[in-house]
Structure 1
Amino acid sequence: MKIARWSLDFYRLAYRDRIVWANAIEDAGVYALLRLESDDGFAGLAEGTVKATWSGVSPASLSAAFRDLIMPAVHGTDLADAQAVHQALAALPENRLAKGMLETACWMLAAARAEQPLWQYWGGTQEVEVSWTLTRRPPGIMAREAAEVASRHGIRAFKVKGGQGMDIDRQALRAIRRAAGDDAVFSVDANSAYGRDEAAAYLRLLSDEGVQAAEDPCPLCPDAHFEALQQSTPLPIIVDRSCTTAADAALFLERGARALSAKPGRVGMTEAMAIGSLARQYGAGVATGIYAESALGTLINLQQAAAVPAKHCAFPAEQTFFLGLTEQIAAQQPVIRQGRIELPAAPGVEGWIDPEHLARYRLRLDA
């Protein structure tokens, strides 16, 4: 199965509200759409989130990487052979987003050829429990947002963005719990906001507030400090920022990591699945992390979350960001019922994209 045609489009989608990330403030997101067509008539898709502070690329640089490096590297490679594709791309340093997108599209294509959706191709489940991410805002606003999401979509799992100071983080957790109910579950992602010397106290705070998992409470390295920190708390520490490859995952797991973040939107399906496989070998959990996906990216990246066995799921999948967008290029938006998304049962990706919407929101690189 070889590449017959490929295309790369970019589009800008507006947010309902301004988003305050740890390293950026935005009112819209820029995305890349890769489409592959094989010589036997099948198609695969991947969406990339284009943020300079996340992926280190612009539309122009990503386009050049695909044209000059990525596609020539896999020319003539059997797209159905995930290992062959991975090896062909391994010869290229950097270019993580481009390589991940190519591998994701190949997986989608291989599943279509097998006449199965990817979640089924991997032996996963059609329904995936999801969580909602509450970005840094005053505690009262975060609480009101949690109550609305819980009421409207039945979501009971919340990823709370911490790092506003320990007192404010504690206030936010208490306010959100009052608003969402005692049965709500929380993970807290501080985006490494606290110092390594503060991390133990912060983890005690989170444990006292009934948090289920703590992501990147401080800068994490696979060293003695991390090992001692994980041993000192009953909370699984989800390693995110420092875990972008299977090699990273192995180093942290050897130091006692109990949970890892696997982001197919950041590293592609092959690397995300490799991280998940290693985690299972060590008895650790996996969280399918947010990458600010649109509705289209949500449908694609949740295929990986659907393949994570329930006993190894560190926290419900974070792919609900699409609800915060006012515009989409997907032909049909995922529906959340009782905190779960049901993935398409039909094989292939035909009909997933609304061509009129893609044309409306497309970015021209020469503009």
Structure 2
Amino acid sequence: MRLTELKLYSYQLRYARPVRWSDIVEEAAPFVLLRLTADTGETGIAEITPKPTWCGVNAKTLIAAIEDIFAPMLMKLDLDDPARVRTALDIVPENHAAKTLIDNACWDLYAARERRPLWQIWRGQQRVELSWAVTRQAPAAMAAEAVQMVERYGFRTLKVKGGQGVEIDVAGIREIRTAVGERVRLYVDANGAYPADQAAKYARAMADAGVSILEDPCAMAPDARFRALREASTIPILVDFGCTSLRDAGLFLEQGARALSIKPGRFGLSHSRAMLALAQQNGCRPVVGLMGESALGTLSGLQFAASLASPILPAELTWYLAMTEQVIKAVPAIADGMLELPDAPSLASLVDWDAVAKAH
């Protein structure tokens, strides 16, 4: 397959309420959508969340990189093998967001050509278990949200955003636990909020509060300090933000990482699959982590999540539920904490292009 057309779309989707992340407060989520059309007539799409503090770009700089650097390269490549396309693009250093977006669109194009969705090609399960992320608020508000989401969607696992101070984090866990009962598993993501010399103490506090897994208690690097933290903690330490590449994943695994967040919306499907292979070889269990995806991005990431045999946690790709707008024709339903993936080979057929234009 050869590329005949490349189009980019930029838009925002509003939240039901302002969302407080570790670094920013948002009223709407930004997105860039890429559409590739091949000479065979097939179309492949992908979407990414361009946030400077998350992936080093905004919509304008991402679009410029694709149009100025990567589009001319793509016009010269055979698109039949997405992994080989990604290898060719990796000759250009950095620009991870641009390469991720192209990689995922090439895989969607591949599925269109094969007339089967990726979850089938990769022998995955059509039904995928999911979790919900409770973002930073007052403990009582977090508990109320947890109850609402568990009752409405049947989630059996909740990711709780920490980093509000140890006392508030502990109070939040206790209030959520009281509200949802023992049947719901809780884990915490502190987004690296605490100093490294306090991370082990924080891990003990979270374990005592009933947390099963702790993600990024401090800024982590694949070094002896990480190994010491992992060995000192009574609960698994989940590696996320310190792992920025396939190379980083290998280095963390060398330091004994036993839980790794793999994000197709951050690394691309080709590198995510390579990370999964490395994790499996080293006895490390993955979770498919969130990158603020819309419903469209969720369906892309879940193609990969469906192929995981034994994730350490359910996939985190449910953030689209926080949005009041979407750019697909039918928003995927979640029941009993599970989502059933569509049979459509390419996600391009699910896009509502009028909604894309309206959200621009």
Query: Scaled by the length of structure 1, what TM-score is found?
Result: 0.96
Task: Report if aligned partners of 2:45, 2:348 keep a CA contact under 8 Å in 1.
Answer: no
Whether the 8 Å CA contact 1:288–1:318 is kept in 2: the answer is: yes
Paired letter, 2:316: E
Deviation, 1:93, is 1.3
Uncovered stretches (5+) of structure 1, i.e. residues with no partner: 363-367
> Which residue pairs with 2:331 in the alignment?
333
Q: Which residue of 2 aligns with 1:6?
A: 6
User: Superposition pairs for residues 53-92 of structure 1, below 5 Å?
Assistant: 53-92=53-92
Residue 349 of structure 1, aligned match among 347, 351, 357: 347
Counterpart Cα distance in 2 of 1:95 and 1:127 = 33
Q: Secondary structure at the match of 1:198?
A: helix
- Distance of 1:167 and 1:148 partners within structure 2: 24
Q: What per-residue deviation string (whole Å, max 9, x for no partner) do you get for residues 268-316 of structure 1?
A: 1111111111111111011111111111111111111111112xx1211
C-alpha displacement at 1:64, in angstroms?
A: 1.1
Q: Which amino acid in structure 2 is aligned with residue 331 of structure 1? A: K
CA distance in 1, matches of 2:12, 2:103: 23
State how 1:172-191 maps to structure 2 within 5 Å.
Answer: 172-191=172-191
Indicate the residue corresponding to 1:202 in structure 2: 202
Supply the AA of the counterpart residue of 1:214.
L
Q: CA deviation at 1:350?
A: 4.3
Amino acid paired to 2:359: Y
Aligned residues: 360
| Distance 1:221-1:349 versus aligned 2 partners, 3 A rule | closer
Tell me what 1:365 maps to. none
SS across alignment from 1:345: coil
Output the CA distance in 1 between the equivalents of 2:150 and 2:137: 18
Q: CA deviation at 1:341?
A: 0.7
Q: Contact 1:187/1:212 (CA < 8 Å) preserved in 2?
A: yes
**What secondary structure does 1:314 align onto?**
coil
Counterpart of 1:205 in structure 2: which amino acid? A
Amino acid aligned to 1:270? S
> Using the alignment, how far apart are the partners of 1:173 and 1:204 within structure 2?
13
Partner of 1:31: 31
The answer (yes or no) to whether the contact 1:74–1:88 under 8 Å persists in 2 is: no
The correspondence of residues 246-325 of structure 1 with structure 2, limited to 5 A, is: 246-310=246-310, 313-325=311-323
Identity across matched positions, percent: 45
The Cα of 1:355 is off from its aligned counterpart by 1.9
Seen in structure 2, the aligned counterparts of structure 1 residues 83 and 329 have a Cα distance that, compared at 3 Å, is closer
Question: Counterpart of 1:54 in 2: which secondary structure?
Answer: helix
Tell me the equivalent position of 1:153: 153
Please identify runs of 4+ aligned residues in structure 1 that moved more than 4 A. none
Which of 167-176 and 58-67 deviates more?
A: 58-67
CA drift of 1:209 comes to 2.1
State the alpha-carbon separation in 2 of the partners of residues 58 and 228 from structure 1.
36
1:292-346 CA-partner distances (Å, limit 9, x unpaired): 1111111111111111112xx1211111110111111111101001001111013
**How far apart are the structure 2 equivalents of 1:68 and 1:341?**
38
Give the conservation status (yes or no) of the 8 Å contact 1:187–1:315. no
